[in-house]
Structure 1
Amino acid sequence: MVEVIRSRLLDGVPHGFLGRRGGVSEGMCWGLNVGHGSGDDPALIAENRRRAVEAVAPGARLATVYQVHSSDAVIVGEPWGDDERPRADALVTDRPGVALGILTADCTPVLLADREAGVVGAAHAGWKGAFGGVLASTVEAMETLGAQRGRIVAAVGPTIGRKSYEVDADFFQRFLAADDDNDLFFTDGRAGHYRFDLEGYVLARLAAAGVKRIEALGLDTYSDEDRFYSYRRATHRGESNYGRQISIIAVPA
Structure 2
Amino acid sequence: MTNSSMWQWRETEKGRFLTCDLLRNWQHGFFTCHFQGDSPNILVGYLNPNASVYRLKQIHSDILFSTATLDRHYLSGADLLEGDGIISSKSLDSVWCASADCTPVLIADKGTGGVMAIHSGWRGTSTAIVPKAIALLQSQGAKLEDLLFALGPAIHGKVYQVNEEVAVEVLKTIFPSDTPSELIIEKALQIENQPILPDEEENKVRLNVTQVISLQIQQQGINLNQIAIAPYCTYQTPEDFFSYRRTKEKKIQWSGIVSH
Normalised TM-score (structure 2): 0.79
* Worse-superposed segment, 118-127 or 69-78: 69-78
Separation (CA, whole Å) in 2 of partners of 1:233 and 1:16: 23
Q: Secondary structure at the match of 1:84?
A: coil
Which amino acid is 1:250 matched to?
V
**Stretches of 4+ moved more than 6 A in 1?**
none
Question: Does structure 1 residue 67 correspond to structure 2 residue 62?
Answer: no
Instruction: Provide the alpha-carbon RMSD of the alignment.
Output: 2.0
Which amino acid is 1:221 matched to?
T
Task: Check the 8 A contact 1:120/1:142 in 2, yes or no.
Answer: no
Q: How many pairs are equivalent?
A: 225
Partner residue in 1 for 2:246: 233
Partner residue in 1 for 2:40: 49
Task: Check the 8 A contact 1:119/1:142 in 2, yes or no.
Answer: no
Separation (CA, whole Å) in 2 of partners of 1:114 and 1:2: 29
Question: Does structure 1 residue 128 correspond to structure 2 residue 141?
Answer: no
Partner residue in 2 for 1:37: none
* Worse-superposed segment, 214-223 or 176-185: 176-185
Change (3 A) 1:145 1:176: closer
Separation (CA, whole Å) in 1 of partners of 2:250 and 2:103: 16
For residue 201 of structure 1, report the CA deviation from its aligned partner. Answer: 0.9
For residue 176 of structure 1, report the CA deviation from its aligned partner. Answer: 5.6
Separation (CA, whole Å) in 2 of partners of 1:136 and 1:198: 14
Partner residue in 2 for 1:210: 221
Q: Which runs of 5+ in 2 are unaligned?
A: 1-13, 176-183
Partner residue in 1 for 2:251: 243
Partner residue in 2 for 1:182: 188
Percentage of pairs with the same residue: 23
Which amino acid is 2:198 matched to?
D
For residue 144 of structure 1, report the CA deviation from its aligned partner. Answer: 3.3
Separation (CA, whole Å) in 2 of partners of 1:117 and 1:162: 34
* Worse-superposed segment, 195-204 or 136-145: 136-145
Separation (CA, whole Å) in 2 of partners of 1:177 and 1:12: 35
Change (3 A) 1:20 1:177: closer
Separation (CA, whole Å) in 2 of partners of 1:83 and 1:127: 29
Partner residue in 2 for 1:85: 80
Q: Secondary structure at the match of 1:218?
A: coil
Separation (CA, whole Å) in 1 of partners of 2:168 and 2:94: 38
Separation (CA, whole Å) in 2 of partners of 1:72 and 1:171: 20
Change (3 A) 1:197 1:63: same
Change (3 A) 1:175 1:158: closer
Q: Secondary structure at the match of 2:144?
A: coil
* Worse-superposed segment, 3-12 or 98-107: 3-12
Question: Does structure 1 residue 76 correspond to structure 2 residue 67?
Answer: yes
